[in-house]
Structure 1
Amino acid sequence: MKIVMTGGGTGGHIYPALAIADKFVQKHPETEIIYIGSEDRLERDIVPKHGYKFESVDTMYLDRDNPLKLVKTAVSNMRGIRQAKKLLKKYKPDLVISTGGYISIPVVISASSMSIPIFIHEQNAFPGMANKFLEKYADKIFLGFNDARERFKNKDKLIYTGNPVRDDFYKIDKNSARKALGIDEGIFNIFIFGGSLGSKVINSIGIEIIKKFSQNENIHIMLGTGNDMYDEVIRTLRKEVGNLGKNINISAYINYIPNAISSADIVICRAGALSVAEITASGRPAIFIPSPNVTENHQYYNAKSVSDNGGAYLVEEDEMTAHRVIEKIEYLYKNPYELIDMREDSKHCSNQDATELIYKSITKELKNER
């Protein structure tokens, strides 16, 4: 079997695609995976390191407010469609699986014109523009959040599966994660991160949390700043806090995030679909601070889907965000039994069988078509 995977731009599109690809290879080791992405985005580095063949085509972000860029986008995507058709003719895949992002548009359109079965996975509670546009081309659309159902037109195509995440998030427990990181079992552990590139807002909140709790040796704080912001955060903390104790751990990049998440009593971060999926897979309570600067405010809906079910707090971004986050940390620190319920509720928001459901649904659909 040959499968073309497409989707990219962010880890939230790439890692679910890789998880799905891994499931097919696990079930059928002879499966050949070809990943079509963009030459200048994250997938260019991530996919080859994962061991899969990578090809690139042209595409361009749709800026609806700039008429000149609309023309450039159209030209780029037409070129991308020609390139994608050439690649599909070369590899002759049995199916195409898309996880969204603008790179998926020329690939899916090309596959449709060649009558190749198409399957789409939408990670967010509020679907992205690319997947909503490509709905008409798909045989089936898998949903990371059931809330996304109301925002697609063809309900017969929709299957709720949850978001695929790496098996590690289901296998690592709190105690083994803490042992790997050298954190005592009885310590209240807070993990704060803003992704590999970092988030200025999350880092500023992290600094305020460290200023508030750095003298409490019963609280351990891990802050992942992102590579580009590490030096600035360290300078600020040295100026405003002074020497940091052993209970404060600042890293530019989190090398193995399953341990970091699983070791935490509370996780504080944005609400990208991948982060939400990984946190709920680990059954960790969270304080989500959705980015207001994303398409259709989809992070808000991702966070809301968990907070509405008791597994997280949703704190919107404004001048009082850090204050409200600290209030919630203080409450949970003083009321640890609340965390027990939150852990259970967080876990219930995760579908541990996501990749298996996607695999079974695709293979069933292919058998029906044949």
Structure 2
Amino acid sequence: MKVIMTGGGTGGHIYPAIAIADKIRRKHPDAEVLFIGTERGMEKDLVPKSGYEIRFITVSGFNRKKLWKNFKTALDLAKGNHQANKIISDFKPDLVIGTGGYVCGPVVRAAHKKGIRTFIHEQNAFPGVTNKLLEKYVDKVFVSFSESKEYFKDQSKLIVTGNPIRKSFLTCGMGNSRDKLEIKPNEFVLLCFGGSLGAGKINSTMIHVLEAFNGLPDARVFFITGRNYYHKVLESIKEQGIELSGNIKVLEYVDNMHEYLSSSDLVISRAGALTVSEITACGKAAILIPSPNVTGNHQYFNAKVVADKGGAVILEEKDLTEEKLLGTVMRLKNNKEALNSMSAASGKAGRMDATDVIYDHLGI
């Protein structure tokens, strides 16, 4: 059996594809799985690191602000269509699964035209443009949130699956993870991250929280800045004359996010679909700060799904201040009952069988 996975740009599109591929491999050890992405996206590094072969095509997104740039987009699309056709003709897959990002368009359409079974997965509560356009070319549309069903036309194709997350997030326990990270059982753990590349506003606001927690007994803070902001954050801390105590760790990036997330009591993060799914799968209370720089404000809708069920507090970036963030953190830290209630609600909002449900509907 041969399977093509396609999706890219950010980890939010790539990690679900890897999770689905891993499930297929566990069920069919002899299956050949090929990824198709772009050389500009994170898939270039993440996919080979996960043990899969990847090939690249040329594709770029539509520019809504600078329309003249879309001439190049059209040229890229024509080139990408040709490249996708060739890869599919050479590889001869039995099915193609897209998990979002512009790269999915040429690949899924080419497979459909060749009569190959096709599927897409939508991670966000507010669907992306590419997946809405691809709906008519696929056999099934897997969606993470029931709230996103209204944005698709053919309801008969829709299956609510949840978001596929890596097995490590489902199997790690708090006690074991804290042992690995050398965290004491009684310590309050605050985890902050803004995605693999980081989030500037969260990072700058978070420094005030670091200062408040610096040297605080029985409290630990893990602040993952993202690769784009790490040195800038360290410089800001130095400029403000803050000498960090041992209970504060500022990190650029971590590969074992499942251990940090499992160890935490409270999480501060963006509200990308994958992030929200991992937080809820681990049953963690969260302060979610949706990115305002995404299509259709979809991160707000992702956050709202969990917040409406009591598992998270939403702080919109336009309202984010040092005082408001610290005040929200301290209110939850000092109210164990409220924190536990949020954690329980978060866990109920999560779904841990997404890869199983998707696999069961692939017909393989």
1:285-330: CA deviation from partner (whole Å, max 9, x where unpaired): 1100000000111000011111111111111012543322222211
Task: State how far apart, in whole Å, the 1-side matches of 2:320 and 2:341 are.
Answer: 27
Letter in 1 for 2:275: S
In the TM superposition, what whole-angstrom CA distance separates every residue of 1:230-286 from its partner, at most 9, and x where no partner exists?
222122223325221111111111231001111111000101111111111111111
Within 2, Cα distance between the matches of 1:337 and 1:36? 47
- 1:255 and 1:40 map into 2 onto residues whose CA distance is 20
2:11/2:196 contact within 8 Å kept:
no
Q: Counterparts in 2 of 1:164-183, with a 5 A limit?
A: 164-183=164-183
Normalised to the residue count of structure 2, the TM-score between the two structures is: 0.97
**Corresponding residue number in structure 2 for 1:104:** 104
TM-score (norm 1): 0.95
Aligned equivalents of 2:220 and 2:362: distance in 1? 44
CA RMSD of aligned residues (A): 1.3
Aligned position for 1:205: 205
Q: Once the two structures are superposed, what CA deviation does each residue of 1:18-57 show, in whole Å capped at 9, x if it has no partner?
A: 1001101100111100111112221111111211111111
Q: Which residue of 2 aligns with 1:145?
A: 145
Q: How does 1:113-152 map onto structure 2 within 5 Å?
A: 113-152=113-152
1:334 CA drift (Å): 1.5
Corresponding residue of 2:235: 235
- The verdict on how the C-alpha distance between 1:253 and 1:40 changes in structure 2, with shifts beyond 3 A counting, is same
Per mean C-alpha deviation after superposition, the further-off stretch among 7-16 and 195-204 is 195-204
**Aligned amino acid, residue 252 of structure 1:** E
Q: Which segments of 5 or more consecutive residues in structure 2 lack a partner in the other structure?
A: none
Give the letter aligned to residue 60 of structure 1: S
| Separation of aligned partners in 2, 1:319 and 1:55 | 42
8 A contact 2:177–2:262 mirrored in 1: yes
Q: Which amino acid aligns with 1:267?
A: V
State the Cα distance separating 1:71 from its structure 2 match. 2.2
Equivalence for 2:362:
362
Q: CA deviation at 1:224?
A: 0.5
Cα contact 2:215–2:246 (8 A) shared by 1: no
Q: Distance in 1 between matches of 2:183 and 2:237?
A: 22
Unaligned runs of at least 5 residues, structure 1: none
- Structure 2 distance, partners of 1:211, 1:204, is 12
Structure 1 letter corresponding to 2:312 = A
> Matched residues in 2 for 1:348 and 1:289: separation?
21
Matching residue of 2:340: 340
In structure 2, the residue matched to 1:66 is 66
Identity %: 45
CA distance in 1, matches of 2:10, 2:330: 33
